[in-house]
Amino acid sequence: MTKLRIGTRGSALALWQARHVASIIEARDPEMKVELEIIKTQGDKILDAPLAKIGGKGLFTKEIEDALLEGKVDLAVHSMKDVPTDIPDGLRISAIMKREDPRDVFISGDGLRLEQLLPGSRIGTSSLRRKAFLLNRFPDLEIISIRGNVDTRLRKIESENLAGVMLAAAGILRMGYADRITSFMEPDLVIPAIGQGALAIETRVGDRLLDSVVEPLNHPDTELCVRIERAFLQRLGGGCQVPMAAHCVRNGKDVDVTAAVVHPDGNPMIRETFHGPAENSGIGSRLADVLIGRGADSILKSVLSDDWEPGPAMDII
């Protein structure tokens, strides 16, 4: 019997994701016994401030990656959208699993859809990206920052007198709350977060046993699209402080990619699309350059710093 330890956050959703991976590994090889090691990250500890104001990268991954590097766990399971583009030396993303629904969802307190809400209605979200896209389309709404796990945020509809909340569809579906969804946010209204809906499995470089266990869990189409999205993110040097988004869909031999940078107040929004061969090199980086050429750099400098400069251009991250 070979024992493997998965490092994971302790939220109900993170535990579901880690157990999901564990069950697949054990089903593939009955000689594998997988245990979970719960690790509290900085993002879990600081719950009284919006993510955009905490700053920094790796809010939900750094402590888990430290445990992985120190040999305290054998692999880590992350929500792909939480993983920075800069992976620590000695670690690698060994698999990106098949994507769940990447869209955002609106969950209403009284069954009304977003377009039916009165001006001044209060919507809760933890995401600056969701806030910016909502204000671009519905400028009369009031967007309230909320933190906490899925259950906590759903309870805040009542406790914070909210008209509703916006969350990732993947978490709602994985937690069995599909019946709570009022409406799905189509990408033409709210572009999903980079990597949203996909799970990443991280291991140490050179661990051949783990590579043989984990690599079969990789989903090539999801991996391709997520890497294109992350190349866009890398080029723009963004994180949770800047409302930016990129979403890729595989369509036969081609990919369709939509990307945008939005001011936190909802305007201006600079948006671009790409349709073409999947093997077309540099899609993510080139999309970022197109947006920069159309003025995205002004938004980024106003939000981040006048010293902002593009990051390295690459498509394999």
Under 8 Å between Cβ of 262 and 244:
yes
pLDDT higher than threshold 80 for residue 50 = no
- For the domain 104-185, what is the CATH superfamily, name and number? Periplasmic binding protein-like II (3.40.190.10)
pLDDT higher than threshold 80 for residue 48 = no
- Supply the residues annotated as catalytic: 82
Under 8 Å between Cβ of 65 and 88:
yes
- Domain 226-303: assigned CATH number: 3.30.160.40
pLDDT tens digits along 6-30:
999 999 999 999 999 999 999 999 9
Q: Which pTM value belongs to this model?
A: 0.92
- Enumerate the CATH 3.30.160.40 domain ranges in the chain, comma separated: 226-303
pLDDT tens digits along 84-135:
999 999 999 999 999 999 999 999 999 999 999 999 999 999 899 999 999 9
Q: What is the mean pLDDT of residues 141-148?
A: 92
- Domain 2-98+198-218: assigned CATH number: 3.40.190.10
CA 125 to chain centre: 14
- Enumerate the CATH 3.40.190.10 domain ranges in the chain, comma separated: 2-98+198-218, 104-185
- pLDDT averaged over every residue in the chain: 91
